[in-house]
Amino acid sequence: MKRRKLNIVLLMCLAINVIAQNPIVPNQGLNDPHIHIFNDTAYVYASHDKSAENKQFIMEDWWVWSSPDLVNWTKRSILKPGETYIGDGFQGCWATDVGKKDGKYYWYFSERNQQTGVVVGDSPVGPWKDPLVKPLLGSDLTPTHEYDMAIFEDGGDHYIIFGVWDFYIARLNYDMISLAEEPKKIIINNPRGPYNQDGRNAEKPTDDKPFVHKYNGKYYLSWGCFYAMSDDLYGPYDYKGTVIKKESFAEGYDAPTWPNGFLQGRHGSFFQWNNQWYFAYCDISQTGNRYFRDTFISYVHFKENGEMAIIRIDGIGVGQYHANQEKIEAEEYFKADGIIKKEVSNDFVVETNARKSYLNFPNVKNTQSYNTIKLRAFAPTGGQFNIEVRRDALDGKIVGKKKLNLKPGLNNLEELNVELSRLDKSENLYFLIEQLDDNALQIESFSFLK
């Protein structure tokens, strides 16, 4: 795959507003992404590799970018070491995360691989003030290194998770700038990692950059694309696998990669927005330089047993779609209500669980020459349904509609054409589904026809 020319890199570096696919902010060095949703807006708190010419990790500041849709991104805030206890001239601005409490935002940052500090602001983008003027997590606090932290909220309490090889967790006090308890080591059964893919490297069993998220009552502790699960936040955790496999990659996205292979260096975070789950992570397939990383985002789907399915890594990314795709998976919506994702035959569908439900697919590109949508759907118990395709909003203009009368049976996948009125070059489409009886509709995917 051809590398981008240096002059394009330089031009992109001047941009403040970016419309992107994967990577979300091309050629900017945005990495170690932690994405949080505040006021229905996505904010990515990230490290920043300085230059495409880097021969080592040179990271002179921390960044905040925001997006209303995971497609259009705007740089909003820069935190420099000189604004913290660290001081000017520092080039080790490593991973970072944020927590919100009582209307204030607490932005935690790594002093290279040694310590963790914190600044506080009245908005998701600051301005920021260092309330401690010293580290929150000092380098002698635990047997591990006190960096690469993640902030997790559960039941109104906030926790900080940090470390390398061994991870530690501690609850934060109400002030968010001190610890309520001594950090506790997190036990992981049968761990694996980029340096320990066969389970034999006891010295480096996991990685750095831990993260925690919660789904359906289970806790997920991840380090890059590796993860473990537990019924208790403090553990112990049972290792489950990786969300990236060889089959994850679209053409042009599987290389180059890190010295230990494509599982290495996938630092990032899992997050939920609008009834959809995502994984934001580092990638170097487009820069070719492990010291100048990009951020990618992929959809995340959970299996019936709670484990996460393998993600897809491609250039389309999330939150936008192309009418010339062979098919658009129904479970890869941007917004939805009255539906659940469901695993069916090692694949995923969306299933209605309310009389009225909807799916939203914004930023659908190249739609102007298409006049039909082909739905692939089935109803396990049969049923009648009304489908409306609307533009821009739930009460927007109807551009297509159809009444469905489906026979029962899991294997009765039907391809149903919905004729459309004239479409523009780019569309924001809502699929409104009405159950005319108590039966559920399952949609596997859809595509556009001419």
pLDDT band at 359, cuts 50/70/90? very high
Opening angle at CA 46, ends 42 and 52, nearest 5: 120
Tell me which H or E stretch contains 339: strand 339-344
**Per-residue pLDDT reduced to its tens digit, 171-189:** 999 999 999 999 999 999 9
Strands (E), 30-142: 30-38, 41-48, 62-67, 72-79, 93-101, 104-111, 115-121
pTM exceeds cut of 0.85: yes
- The two three-digit tokens of residue 241, written as one number: 């696998």
- Tokens 């290495």 belong to residue: 264
Q: Which amino acid is at 34?
A: H
Does the pLDDT of residue 11 top 70, yes or no? Answer: no
Does the pLDDT of residue 14 top 50, yes or no? Answer: no
pLDDT band at 16, cuts 50/70/90? low
**CA 234, chain centre distance (Å):** 23
Distance CA 182, CA 87 (A): 28
> Over the chain, what is the mean pLDDT?
95
Domain assignments of the chain as residue spans, ordered by start: 6-319, 330-449
The contacts of residue 35 (CB under 8 Å, 6+ apart) are 42, 43, 44, 45, 269, 271, 278, 280, 297
β-partners of residue 267 are none
**Per-residue pLDDT reduced to its tens digit, 34-76:** 999 999 999 999 999 999 999 999 999 999 999 999 999 999 9
Q: Are 327 and 447 spatial neighbours (Cβ–Cβ below 8 Å)? A: yes
Does the pLDDT of residue 92 top 90, yes or no? Answer: yes
Does the pLDDT of residue 325 top 50, yes or no? Answer: yes
CATH of domain 6-319: 2.115.10.20
What pLDDT is attached to residue 19? 67
Distance CA 256, CA 269 (A): 22
Class of domain 330-449: mainly beta
**Per-residue pLDDT reduced to its tens digit, 127-165:** 999 999 999 999 999 999 999 999 999 999 999 999 999
Does the pLDDT of residue 6 top 50, yes or no? Answer: no
Does the pLDDT of residue 4 top 80, yes or no? Answer: no
Distance CA 48, CA 135 (A): 21
**Per-residue pLDDT reduced to its tens digit, 199-219:** 999 999 999 999 999 999 999
Q: Are 104 and 120 spatial neighbours (Cβ–Cβ below 8 Å)? A: yes
